[in-house]
Amino acid sequence: MTTPAAQIVDAAAYAQAVEDAVKAAAAYYAGGTSPMDDDTYDRLVRGISAWEADHPDEVLPDSPTGKVAGGAVEGDVPHTVAMLSLDNVFSPEEFAAWTASLARRIGHDVTSFSVEPKLDGLAIAARYSRGRLTRLITRGDGTAGEDVSHAIGTIEGLPEQLAEPVTVEVRGEVLMTTAQFEHANEVRTAHGGQPFANPRGASAGTLRAKDRAYTVPMTFFGYGLLPLPDTESVLAERLGQLAHSDLMATSAEYGINTTAATTVPGVTAATVEQVLARVREIEGLRAELPFGIDGVVIKADLAADQQAAGSGSRAPRWAIAYKLPAVEKITRLLEVEWNVGRTGIIAPRAVLEPVTIDGATITYATLHNPGDITRRDLRLGDHVMVHRAGDVIPRIEAPVAHLRTGEEQPIVFPEVCPRCGSGIDTSEQRWRCENGRNCHLVAALSYAAGRDQLDIEGLGATRVVQLVEAGLVSDLADLFTLTRDQLLSLDRMGETSTDNLLTAISAAKDQPLSRVLCALGVRGTGRSMSRRIARYFATMDNIRAADAETMQRVDGIGTEKAPSIVLELADLAPVIDRLAAAGVNMTEPGATPPSPATGAADDSPHAPADGAGLPLDGMTVVVTGKMSGPLEKLSRNQMNELVERAGGRSSSSVSKKTSLVVAGEGAGSKRAKAETLGIRLATPDEFAALLADFVS
């Protein structure tokens, strides 16, 4: 979808738009801050361009159109070759029009395009003399940039010494990965500074900082390689003749970091259709990348085509940026809600001034815990940068501190549980009501009785409320001691409904251990983790006997989660004892207990206890889309249980570690990603045939 241009109705509105765009560009390129987000800026510049096309005699000299960095910055170190920006397209139609224009300019259709992600960072030129990094220069106004050589040695992927003693200039993008950005804000706030609003701002500010009391890492990705005036003539001639894809391969051989090692490496494509297919693939992978991208860069790959196309004052004519829908927008934080979960966790949630991101209207965003709010220095009324990519839950990156007016108010943390008024346990990052599960007993019991846990038909939330208010149930074990007379005493409980509920409760006693464990609602576990724990240990006794070190042998349980799970199980000991006494199953069918000698089924600390010889042994399987045929009636949780009974590991996301994707109707982006990564696909019928012995 084409990004709509801002509507400019007259000369006064045009002049104001130019002023706003120049100010935004100056803030963005100089320090990584801006009063507007990227999407708003793009729309504004498109509006300015449209006005100027209709009023060519009224173009203001300060207009950002046709200028590198919007004409907002200058530099004092001349570039040997102009360091230009890129023009943008926003739709397949605009891209097709650009390729047609390029073909007319060079006299033939382009037969080889280079396609690579447009990294959301700060462009720099790195000059090497005989293999040693001597100077770093920002893009500046395209003809000259700012010397930031003080940052040498602080940027990952930009070695101080190349693998070969060549004199060259490497161009690329300095950015912060998601992990580096989080670390940078932790360090920055620890030193009394305001958190950065987004990774790009963090990169721009950090790259220019000379006198900070701390340093934080950044990452470089190369996208260009060219000779310098004193480059050896043979090498200079060779570089001038190489295709862009070959230049990137040469850069990697020198030791420069490129996208080649990422899940979105640069590739070549021969046709417009192939380019657009790659654009869709990169867009599908965007949400899971460890760094930000805001589009896809498409270049004529061959040096001859580039030379024939030439460049304008702002951008090369042989390259274009295909902009993807914005995943970050600036909006206002109106309120913070404090919600209590079924295990007593008190979770903050941000209430936002509604904003549309990637086609979805965002009203709420996640806030992980009170410490997260404090670290980000969030205040009510703040303008905040909100990030959302694909199906990822929207999150607040940080306040846009330079837009503060002084009227923002501190966020007030609760002093007692907002649900029951009890005290709050603040000893961990995630606060919890001191009543724990009893604070939200109805939610906890309703969850336990759900289809993917104990599957007690007839025990919905309304019935649970009745049982709790009547004093008949105070924890999960009480469900299994209910009598016929007790149930008949409740309103709207006749003999038939009473007998049906008692039958369902009795049947729940035979559920596998994994479902019983999930029904207990141990913090730090869910359906998938409960299955892994149950299949690893095989019995509840083995689970309860495990210390933190032993618990870490289960795939996905680390040093932080293990002690919490062990402690939770100890707290639940009385309930577990009463469940066992009531006849509730405490074993996982088909699972083999770990060896007492090694603590595992083999020498691997994360080995499944019982996968050997099974059809999915050692495989990671993702199920997506609507199932059909023999699998039609299975819920997603039941599908995941099926995977693990057959020796596999279920996962909700597709990655290089995925072995198989079961793709039903409407599989969407997960199927596309599997195809991109070359992962085996199976239809529901094919999967059912593979697991015929496990599908009833």
Lowest model confidence (mean pLDDT) among 258-262, 323-327, 421-425, 519-523:
323-327
Are 455 and 364 within one domain?
no
Specify the pLDDT at position 596.
64
CA distance 239 to 242: 5
Quick check: 424 pLDDT over 60?
yes
Active site residue 118: yes
Judged against a pLDDT cut of 60, whether residue 603 lies above it is answered with no
pLDDT of 443:
87
Domain assignment present for 574: no
State whether 171 and 271 are in the same domain: yes
Of residues 651 and 69, more confidently modeled = 651
333 and 301 together in one domain: no
The DSSP bridge pattern shows strands 155-156 and 218-227 to be parallel
pLDDT score of 607 more than 50: no
**Average pLDDT score, the chain:** 87
- pTM for the model: 0.63
- Claim to verify: residue 185 and residue 109 sit in the same structural domain: yes
Is residue 71's pLDDT more than 70?
no
**Does residue 49 share a domain with residue 87?**
no
- Give the number of other Cβ atoms within 10 Å of residue 2's Cβ: 12
Spatial separation of the C-alpha atoms in residues 653 and 621, rounded to whole Å: 9
Confidence check: pLDDT of 459 > 50: yes
- Both tokens assigned to 114: 């280079």
Domain co-membership, 450 together with 380: no
Closest by Cα among 161, 194, 158 to 175: 158
Q: Tell me: do 307 and 333 sit in the same domain.
A: no
Is the predicted pLDDT of residue 207 greater than 80, yes or no?
Answer: yes
Final residue in a domain of this structure, among 323, 342, 372: 323
Q: Which of 477, 508, 539 is the last residue of a domain?
A: 508
**pLDDT tens, 635-664?**
888 898 899 888 888 888 888 889 999 999
Q: Residue 66 and residue 142: Cα distance in Å, rounded?
A: 12
Determine which one of 23, 67, 118, 299 is catalytic: 118
How far is the CA of 674 from the CAs of 3, 644, 649, 657, 679, in angstroms?
Answer: 29, 20, 17, 11, 5
Q: Rounded to the nearest 10 degrees, how much is the dihedral formed by the CA atoms of 397, 401, 405, 408? A: 50
Are 286 and 367 part of one and the same domain?
A: no
pLDDT of residue 504: 95
Q: Tell me if 254 sits within 8 A of 164, measured CB to CB.
A: yes
Tell me what pLDDT residue 29 has: 61
Q: What does the pLDDT read at residue 612?
A: 56
| Model pLDDT, residue 169 | 97
State mean pLDDT over 466-494. 92
pLDDT band at 528 (very low <50, low <70, confident <90, very high): confident
Instruction: Say what the pLDDT of residue 654 is.
Output: 85
**What's the pLDDT at 30?**
58
447 belongs to a structural domain = yes
Residue 72 has pLDDT above 60, yes or no: no
The answer as to whether 584 is a domain residue is no
Residue carrying structure tokens 């049947």: 507
Pairwise pLDDT comparison (361 vs 301), residue with the higher score: 301
Residues 339 and 376 in one domain: yes
| Cα–Cα dist 60/53, whole Å | 12
> What is the β-pairing status of strands 660-663 and 620-624?
parallel
Same domain, 464 and 373: no
Which pLDDT score, from 0 to 100, does residue 608 have?
Answer: 42
Domain count of the chain? 5
Higher pLDDT, 509 or 640: 509
- Verify that 482 and 359 share a domain, yes or no: no
| Type of residue found at 427 | S
**Residue 568: inside a domain, yes or no?**
no
Do residue 47 and residue 24 come from a single domain? yes
Quickly state the pLDDT bin for 33 (edges 50, 70, 90).
low
Domain that holds residue 46: 11-71
Residue 543 has pLDDT above 50, yes or no: yes
Task: Report if residue 417 sits inside a domain.
Answer: no
Q: Each residue of 5-32: pLDDT tens digit?
A: 777 878 888 888 888 888 877 766 655 5
pLDDT tens sequence across 128-172 = 999 999 999 999 888 898 899 999 999 999 999 999 999 999 999
Whole-number percent of the chain with pLDDT over 70: 93
The CATH code of the domain that includes 32 is 1.10.287
- Does the residue 449 lie in any domain? yes
Q: Which among 274, 304, 323 is the end of a domain?
A: 323
